[in-house]
Amino acid sequence: MGMFSAGRGLVGLVLAGLLWLSAGSALGASEASSAPDPGRGLLTELAEADYNGKKAVIDTIVASGDERSRRWLESLADGKLQRLKDSGDFVIVLRNRGREWPVVDALTFEDAGEVSRRALDRIRINNALRGYLDSSLALFDLRVDDPQARLVAARDLIGEVDESSVEPIARLLAEESDSDVVTTLELALAIQRLDQGDVEAVEVLAGNLDSRARAALSQASRSDDPTLAAAASEALTSIEQVLKINRAAETLYFGLSLGSVLVLAAIGLAITFGVMGVINMAHGELIMLGAYTTWAMQQVLPGQPGLALLLSIPAGFLVAALAGVAIERSVIQFLKGRPLETLLATFGVSLILQQLVRTVISPLNRTVVTPEWMSGSLMVNDALSLTLNRLYVLGFALLVFAALMLVMRRTRLGLEVRAVTQNRAMARAMGIRATRVDILTFALGSGVAGLAGVALSQLTNVGPNLGQNYIIDSFMVVVFGGVGNLWGTLVAGLSLGVINQVLEPWAGAVLAKILVLVFIILFIQKRPRGLFPQKGRAAEG
Amino acid sequence: MIRILPSALHRSLSRRLTGGLALSVLALGISTTALAEDAQDPIKVGILHSLTGTMAISESTLKDTMLMLIEQQNAQGGLLGRELEPVVVDPASNWPLFAEKARELLAQEEVDVIFGNWTSVSRKSVLPVVEELNGLLFYPVQYEGEESSENVFYTGAAPNQQAIPAVDYLMNEVGVERWVLAGTDYVYPRTTNRILEAYLAANGVGDDDIMVNYTPFGHSDWQNIVSEIKQFGSAGKKTAVVSTVNGDANVPFYRELANQGVDAADIPVVAFSVGEQELSGIDTAPLVGHLAAWNYFMSVDNDANYDFIDAWYDYTGDDEAVTNDPMEAHYIGFNMWLEAVRKAGTTDVDEVKDAIIGVSVPNLTGGYATMMPNHHITKPVLIGEIQDNGQFSVVWETPSTVAGDAWSDFLQGSRDLISDWRAPMRCGNYNVVEGSCGAGAAETVASE
């Protein structure tokens, strides 16, 4: 096979390689059986070169047109292309955990059994090489049929285009039918032209919100060429203006998202503390139990994180509700009307639950997998993207809130709860079994805490300390919103979230938290019953 | 009966022993112990790590590491013909309790050495007790420096063995020009970042190109900060984040980075507190390429390391268990102490203290660690990139080992100090300018 000179650059080589691939794959196969496999030579070069040398070898591999080259480059990028220390044979590792790793032969892709990790030598790469590999692979992918895959490939090329790849990309661009791919490729090319000092490229980039376009423009605005610098600065100013609006929208989203977490954590407490008047310091641990239920579900259903997560919603509710009932029956019912003792006793329960998890499961955090459909973000435009996991949690919080409102307003349980809350003696006189209502209310509040845990497992650590991080915030939200008022909890949670996120960029995370606390203290001084105080005689009791 | 007993003993022991240990060694071990006077007391090794409370997540593994090392040593015949007896106490992540428990270990249990502590604040709490009762403490975690005690041996990294080389790597090999210093709001990140700011300024990085950000412990809402980092990084200069974010807060931080699409190729994050154990709580596929600087990685290709890992797998009964840098530090510290006791022929604290300086033992990365006169050790510095299996792949390492520096060369007041615990100087904060052993300067620096 003719070797192309490396000087022609990466992309020329890719294209040539692709031609070879389509024309002579059968030829390659017959050659491999008689002569020694050229792949082995290529991989040996790859293994022995230093980081810079590897780039040239990657070019050679691409140019060789070997149909295995794509898998080689992919497994190299994943760090799974390795070499057996004694025989010097190359393998691709399928699973790299534990003592023995299953591998396939890198030349034949046939199963090669399990190999001890001691016997393997990884072919090292670093970030720079990984980027180079990504753009090499992207050029392969620009030719596939799926427009979505082409778009992903085109995005990988933004900021990675060099002189040698301009021409082939331009050629692919001329054949491209999908408009998104066209725009992305044009952007990628324009950034390269701008780097070369082309003033006209500024026009293409003007108004583009992509951060790499902005980076290229601000680099150009520092250029020695006054026309270029002026044009670039002008384009930057107009972009900045659009960005400001986007940033405001982003901050609002951040605030609502943080707020929804607060609402979720606090809403169970709004029932137990707000409606029943029980100060439950173990509320955070009930949240933790919900999160651990998600983890346990994922252990039971390996490989199906999405399904496990959905099933965790009822399971988490049940587990936390049962734990709540146990706490109510064993501790709280004996301390009715003694808030200080309740506080101390439930604090003890919270410590016991934490240590129980540490001893029984592990003091280490557990991995909860985020399902595919919850990872990444929803792109509104190039500058504004909403992270999906938080978007789901926001929606989930609103759903839980709506469901809870329905229960309290539309069901018999809700009616009885409200009756017992307003006047216990009178409710009992009317034939309501107050004890049963107490248990059910506490179970409901605890179950909702479990739901919060399921949601939080997607945002933060699942570990024994999970609950502690949310207990103070939860009480803060309930007190601020007005004890005994679910609407108050919703409004208080969301507004505290937004206030916090608005303050954070200029005050810093530590100070923002302090300022929010100071604000609440002042507010409670002025209005001790919170945002939405309960009115009427019930409030006096 | 008599014939059954040894085999039962052997079975119960060998179940916990490493595969690498030959039976003959075991037999030898038992017979030498038997030969030595049975009446002789065991040597007591105190283990001062939190088993409950917030720090249990990190520290309980170190307790298990110590128990494993002691078990291995006993199987090889103990030390000076005597058995080693671990004494485990639980300071429960409570800083004042650390001091009480240290006192209990030294005064009541009369242990010969203590291995313990994780956070700097717990070490500061134990320090006066260990000095008063003349104990020995081996501290295995990377820390901010600016301290040197006659009774403490620092087997973790000082800033010049972790932070500075990492910044050098980013500056010289990756070409980073703009820096975000993000940390949790407490003493280690603040001191480290002060050192780094001074170091960056000395290397010609302007104030505009440095962004410093602190967050509370256990911070879980990183949306705004990650978005700010993205903005900061779109100024047309290569940007990197130097993270001293502590423990638990890292998981939500990395999740947010991944979700907002901060790619290691664009803005790499180099962390000083994220190791294999922290990563075991996250799906690392979106984090591939982000960096960490340590003196040990579990992935280091070396037989001593594989033996250690296999022993750890056997000890924990879990083939997915991970090892990390502080565990290696205990491994080194324990072996150094054994060597020093053998050299001194006694466990007497003053003699061991003198004997240990200059002692070299193998580390797990294929080299040797030497105890320096300032009670810090020599370590190689490794930069690793996160892989999709929660491990790091080493991309760069210092050409030779680096000796730990108790007093940073980049801080006012600290750069004139040296520490040397050999006779005749025996001083932890000798001021080379004034030519005196001055506690004054040291206290000003430490209390800042």
Q: Quick one: pLDDT at residue B439?
A: 55
- A99's tokens: 């003592």
Report pLDDT digits (tens) over A313-342: 999 999 999 999 999 999 998 998 888 999
Question: What percent helix, strand, coil does chain B show, rounded to 5?
Answer: 40, 20, 40
Contact at 8 Å (CB) between B375 and B419? yes
CB-count exposure of residue A343 (10 Å: 0-12, 13-18, 19+): middle
- Exposed e or buried b for every residue in A274-313, given b needs 16+ CB within 10 A? bbbebbbbbbbbbbbbbbbbbbbbbeeeeeebeebbebbb
Phi, psi of A218 (to 5 degrees): -70, -25
**Residue numbers in B near A130 (CB within 8 A):** 264-265, 288-289
What single-letter DSSP state applies at residue B419?
Answer: E
Q: Quick one: pLDDT at residue A210?
A: 82
CB contact under 8 A, B319 and A99: yes
ipTM of this complex? 0.80
* pLDDT tier for residue A536 given thresholds of 50, 70 and 90: low
CB-count exposure of residue A355 (10 Å: 0-12, 13-18, 19+): middle
- Higher pLDDT: B52 or A519? It is A519
Kindly list the strands in the beta sheet with B239-244, ordered across the sheet, starting from the edge strand earlier in the chain: B210-215, B178-184, B239-244, B269-271, B291-294, B382-386, B392-397
- A168's tokens: 């082939």
Contact at 8 Å (CB) between A480 and A269? no
Phi, psi of A522 (to 5 degrees): -60, -40
**Residue numbers in A near B228 (CB within 8 A):** 505
The stretches of A35-162 forming alpha helices (DSSP H) are 38-48, 51-64, 69-77, 127-141, 147-157
CB atoms under 10 Å from CB of A408, counted, come to 18
> In a mutagenesis test of the B interface, which of A74, A78, A121, A126 is the best target, namely the one with the most B β-carbons within 10 Å?
A126
What does the pLDDT average to over A414-436? 87
- Higher pLDDT: B106 or A204? It is B106
A76-80, A292-296, A318-322, B112-116: which range is least confident on average?
Answer: A76-80
The whole-angstrom distance between B259's CA and the closest CA on chain A is 4
Q: Check if B189 contacts A (Cβ < 8 Å).
A: no
The amino acid that residue A451 corresponds to is: L
Does domain B4-157+302-377 fall under CATH 3.40.1390.30? My reply is no
Cis geometry, peptide bond prior to residue B362 (ω within 30 degrees of 0): no
**Residue numbers in B near A134 (CB within 8 A):** 265
* Cα(B365)–Cα(B352) distance, integer angstroms: 26
- A240's tokens: 């900045």
- B149's tokens: 């005690």
CB contact under 8 A, B56 and A212: no
Task: Give the three-class secondary structure for A262.
Answer: helix
Contact at 8 Å (CB) between A320 and A449? yes
Q: What does CATH list as the number for B160-299+383-403? A: 3.40.50.2300
Picking from B225, B227, B264, the nearest residue to A509 by CB comes out as B225
Nearest to B152 by CA among B186, B102, B109: B102
**Residue numbers in B near A377 (CB within 8 A):** 259-261
Residue of A nearest to B287 (CA): A127
Report pLDDT digits (tens) over A29-39: 444 445 678 88
What single-letter DSSP state applies at residue A36?
Answer: P
**Residue numbers in A near B118 (CB within 8 A):** none
* Cα(A298)–Cα(A294) distance, integer angstroms: 6
What single-letter DSSP state applies at residue A66?
Answer: -
pLDDT above 70 as % of chain A: 92
- A380's tokens: 């509104």
Q: Quick one: pLDDT at residue B13?
A: 43
Task: Give the three-class secondary structure for A95.
Answer: coil
* Cα(A139)–Cα(A12) distance, integer angstroms: 10
Q: Which DSSP string do the residues of A403-421 spell out, in sequence order?
A: HHHHHHHHSHHHHHHHHHH
pLDDT at A15 over 50: no
Strand-pairing partners, residue B139, are: B154
Contact at 8 Å (CB) between B65 and B330? yes
**Domain residue spans of chain B:** 4-157+302-377, 160-299+383-403, 417-447
- Equal fold, B4-157+302-377 vs B160-299+383-403: yes
- Which stretches of chain B score pLDDT less than 70? 1-39, 281, 439-448
CB contact under 8 A, A215 and B234: yes
Please say whether the dihedral angle defined by the alpha carbons of residues B334, B335, B338 and B344, taken in this order, is positive or negative: negative
Nearest to B410 by CA among B245, B167, B66: B167
Strand-pairing partners, residue B88, are: B47
CB contact under 8 A, B385 and A250: no
CB contact under 8 A, B289 and A464: no
Q: Quick one: pLDDT at residue B53?
A: 78
- Hey, which of A84-98, A470-484, B100-114, B181-195 has the most confident mean pLDDT? B100-114
CB contact under 8 A, A461 and B251: yes
CB contact under 8 A, A127 and B385: yes
Picking from A79, A117, A469, the nearest residue to B218 by CB comes out as A469
Q: Which DSSP string do the residues of A490-523 spell out, in sequence order?
A: HHHHHHHHHHHHHHHHHHHHHHHHHHHHHHHHHH
Kindly list the strands in the beta sheet with B137-139, ordered across the sheet, starting from the edge strand earlier in the chain: B84-89, B43-48, B113-116, B137-139, B152-154
Strand-pairing partners, residue A387, are: A377
Picking from B227, B252, B288, the nearest residue to A459 by CB comes out as B252
Residues 6+ apart with CB under 8 A from B376: B154, B158, B403, B404, B405, B406
Report pLDDT digits (tens) over A223-272: 888 888 888 888 888 888 888 899 899 999 999 999 999 999 999 999 88
Nearest to B146 by CA among B422, B383, B418, B339: B418
Cα B206 versus chain centre, distance: 32
CB contact under 8 A, A257 and B218: no
**Domain residue spans of chain A:** 6-128, 261-368+432-540
Q: Which DSSP string do the residues of B226-253 spell out, in sequence order?
A: HHHHHHHTTSSS-EEEEEE--GGGHHHH
- Across chain A, mean pLDDT equals 86
Task: Give the three-class secondary structure for A100.
Answer: strand
Please say whether the dihedral angle defined by the alpha carbons of residues B101, B106, B112 and B118, taken in this order, is positive or negative: positive
Half-sphere exposure of B57 (CA within 13 A, CB side): 24
CB atoms under 10 Å from CB of A412, counted, come to 9
Strand-pairing partners, residue A111, are: A104
CB-count exposure of residue A366 (10 Å: 0-12, 13-18, 19+): buried
Residue of B nearest to A469 (CA): B218
Strand-pairing partners, residue A84, are: A120
pLDDT above 90 as % of chain A: 38
pLDDT at A492 over 80: yes
The model's pTM is 0.81
